[in-house]
Structure 1
Amino acid sequence: MSSNNKSIVTDLDYPLVKFSQSKEDWWTIRDAVRGVQIFGGIGSGKSSGSGKTLAKAFLKNGFGGLVLCGKPDERENWEKLAKEAGREDDLIIFREDSQYQFNPLDYELNRTGKGAGEIFNLSYLFMEIYKMGNRFSGGGGDGGDGERYWDNALKRCINRMIQLLKFSGEKVSIENMINLLSQAPYEEDMKDLSELSNEEIEGVGEKNFCIGCIIKASARCDNTPLEKECEFVTNYFTNEFSRVPEKTRAIVVESFLGLAEPFTSGILKKHFSKSTNLYPEATFEGKIIVLDFPVKEYLASGIYAQGIYKLLWQQAAERRNPNEDLLPVFLWVDESQLFLSDYDQIFQTTARSSRACTVFLSQNISNYYSAIGGKDPRPKIDSLLGNLGTKIFHANNDAVTNEWAARTIGNAFKNVRSINVGKNENTSAGISQQLLHLVEPREFTMLKSGGFENDLKVEGVITVAGKTWSNNLNFYRTFFDQSV
Structure 2
Amino acid sequence: MSWFSFGRRRSLSRPAATRSPWPLDMPLLRWTAEESFTLEDACKGLQIWGMTGSGKSSASGHLVALSYLRSGFGGLVLCAKPDEAETWRKYCQQTGRADQLVVFSPSSPWRFNFLDYELSRPGAGAGLTENILRLFMTVAEIAGRGTGGGEGREDEGYWKRSLQQLLRNTIDLLVIATGRVSVPDLYRLVVSAPTSFDQTGSETWQTRSFCWQCLQHGDTASKRGYQAHDFQLVADYFLLEYPGLSEKTRSVIVSTFTSMIDVLNRGVLRELFCTTTNVTPEDCLDGKIVVIDLPVKEFAEVGQFAAVLWKYLFQRAVERRDVRGDPRPVFLFVDESQLFTTAFDALFQTTARSARCCTVFLTQNLNNYLTAYKGPSGPAEAKSLLGNLTTHVVHALADSDTAQFVAELIGRRRQLFMNGSASHESPHPIDDLFGRRSGQQSGGFSESFEYDLQPSELFRMKTGGIANNFQVQGLVWRGGRPFPSTCRSYLWTIFDQRRT
Do they fold alike, i.e. is TM over 0.5?
Answer: yes
Please state how far the C-alpha of 1:160 moved relative to its aligned partner.
0.1
Contact conserved, 1:205 with 1:213, CA < 8 A, in 2? Answer: no
Please state how far the C-alpha of 1:434 moved relative to its aligned partner.
1.9
Task: Verify: 1:477 aligned to 2:492, yes or no.
Answer: yes
Q: 177, 184, 187: which one pairs with 1:175?
A: 184
- TM value normalised by structure 1: 0.93
In 1, distance between residues paired with 2:417 and 2:173?
72
Aligned to 1:398: 399
Deviates more, 1:132-141 or 1:71-80: 132-141
Task: Verify: 1:459 aligned to 2:462, yes or no.
Answer: no
Aligned residue for 1:114, secondary structure, equals coil
- The one-letter amino acid of 1:293's match is L
Aligned residue for 2:323, secondary structure, equals coil
In 2, distance between residues paired with 1:187 and 1:49?
62
Please state how far the C-alpha of 1:107 moved relative to its aligned partner.
1.0
Q: 1:327 to 1:430 in 2, by over 3 A?
A: same
- The one-letter amino acid of 2:335's match is D
Deviations 1:18-47 (A, max 9, x none): 23343xx11100000000111111111111
Please state how far the C-alpha of 1:483 moved relative to its aligned partner.
0.7
Aligned residue for 1:333, secondary structure, equals strand
Aligned to 2:362: 361
Please state how far the C-alpha of 1:285 moved relative to its aligned partner.
1.4
Aligned to 1:196: none
Please identify runs of 4+ aligned residues in structure 1 that moved more than 6 A.
Answer: 222-225
In 2, distance between residues paired with 1:238 and 1:311?
34
- The one-letter amino acid of 2:100's match is D
Aligned residue for 1:247, secondary structure, equals helix
Aligned residue for 1:352, secondary structure, equals helix
Task: Verify: 1:12 aligned to 2:21, yes or no.
Answer: no
Deviations 1:281-305 (A, max 9, x none): 1111111111000000000000000
Task: Verify: 1:71 aligned to 2:81, yes or no.
Answer: yes
Aligned residue for 1:374, secondary structure, equals coil
How many residue pairs get aligned? The number is: 467
Q: How does 1:439-450 map to 2 (within 5 A)?
A: 439-450=453-464
Aligned to 1:137: 147
Please state how far the C-alpha of 1:415 moved relative to its aligned partner.
2.4
Deviates more, 1:383-392 or 1:143-152: 143-152
Aligned to 2:72: 62
Deviations 1:286-337 (A, max 9, x none): 1111100000000000000010000000000001113335101100000000
Contact conserved, 2:197 with 2:239, CA < 8 A, in 1? Answer: no
In 1, distance between residues paired with 2:95 and 2:252?
52
Q: How does 1:13-28 map to 2 (within 5 A)?
A: 13-22=25-34, 25-28=35-38
Q: 85, 90, 97: which one pairs with 2:100?
A: 90
Contact conserved, 1:67 with 1:331, CA < 8 A, in 2? Answer: yes
Deviates more, 1:98-107 or 1:429-438: 429-438
Q: 1:324 to 1:177 in 2, by over 3 A?
A: same
Contact conserved, 1:8 with 1:61, CA < 8 A, in 2? Answer: no
- C-alpha root-mean-square deviation of aligned residues, in Å? 1.9
Deviations 1:349-382 (A, max 9, x none): 1111111000000000100000111135221111
Aligned residue for 2:252, secondary structure, equals helix
Aligned to 2:121: 111
Please state how far the C-alpha of 1:427 moved relative to its aligned partner.
4.5
- TM value normalised by structure 2: 0.90
| Unaligned runs of at least 5 residues, structure 1 | 1-6, 194-200
Task: Verify: 1:317 aligned to 2:318, yes or no.
Answer: yes
Deviates more, 1:130-139 or 1:228-237: 130-139
- The one-letter amino acid of 2:496's match is D
Task: Verify: 1:415 aligned to 2:416, yes or no.
Answer: yes
Please state how far the C-alpha of 1:416 moved relative to its aligned partner.
2.1
Aligned residue for 2:82, secondary structure, equals coil
- The one-letter amino acid of 1:192's match is G
Please state how far the C-alpha of 1:147 moved relative to its aligned partner.
0.8
Aligned to 1:3: none
Aligned residue for 2:346, secondary structure, equals helix
In 2, distance between residues paired with 1:372 and 1:269?
27
In 2, distance between residues paired with 1:138 and 1:482?
40
Please state how far the C-alpha of 1:192 moved relative to its aligned partner.
3.3
Aligned residue for 2:493, secondary structure, equals strand
Deviations 1:152-172 (A, max 9, x none): 000000000001111112631
In 2, distance between residues paired with 1:140 and 1:52?
38
Please state how far the C-alpha of 1:221 moved relative to its aligned partner.
4.5
Contact conserved, 2:85 with 2:291, CA < 8 A, in 1? Answer: yes
- The one-letter amino acid of 1:162's match is I
Aligned to 2:255: 254
- The one-letter amino acid of 1:417's match is M
Aligned residue for 1:353, secondary structure, equals helix
| Unaligned runs of at least 5 residues, structure 2 | 1-18, 426-438
Contact conserved, 2:264 with 2:270, CA < 8 A, in 1? Answer: yes
In 2, distance between residues paired with 1:74 and 1:55?
12
Aligned to 1:101: 111
In 1, distance between residues paired with 2:250 and 2:45?
43
Aligned to 1:164: 173
In 2, distance between residues paired with 1:224 and 1:62?
44
Aligned residue for 1:10, secondary structure, equals coil
Aligned to 1:468: 482
In 2, distance between residues paired with 1:222 and 1:341?
36
In 2, distance between residues paired with 1:444 and 1:68?
28
Aligned residue for 2:444, secondary structure, equals strand
Please state how far the C-alpha of 1:111 moved relative to its aligned partner.
0.3
- The one-letter amino acid of 2:25's match is D
Q: 1:44 to 1:240 in 2, by over 3 A?
A: same
In 1, distance between residues paired with 2:395 and 2:356?
27
Task: Verify: 1:381 aligned to 2:390, yes or no.
Answer: no
Please state how far the C-alpha of 1:218 moved relative to its aligned partner.
0.7
Q: How does 1:183-222 map to 2 (within 5 A)?
A: 183-190=192-199, 192-193=201-202, 205-221=206-222
In 1, distance between residues paired with 2:143 and 2:245?
25
Aligned to 1:197: none
- The one-letter amino acid of 1:360's match is F
Aligned residue for 1:407, secondary structure, equals helix
Deviates more, 1:262-271 or 1:287-296: 262-271
Deviates more, 1:458-467 or 1:399-408: 458-467
Q: 34, 37, 42: which one pairs with 1:32?
A: 42
- Whose radius of gyration is greater, 1 or 2? 2
In 1, distance between residues paired with 2:83 and 2:479?
32
In 2, distance between residues paired with 1:374 and 1:105?
29
- The one-letter amino acid of 1:185's match is P
Deviations 1:119-165 (A, max 9, x none): 01111111111111011334374x24411110000000000000111
Sequence identity of aligned pairs in percent? Answer: 38
In 2, distance between residues paired with 1:140 and 1:421?
64
Deviations 1:88-139 (A, max 9, x none): 1111111111111112211111101110000011111111111110113343
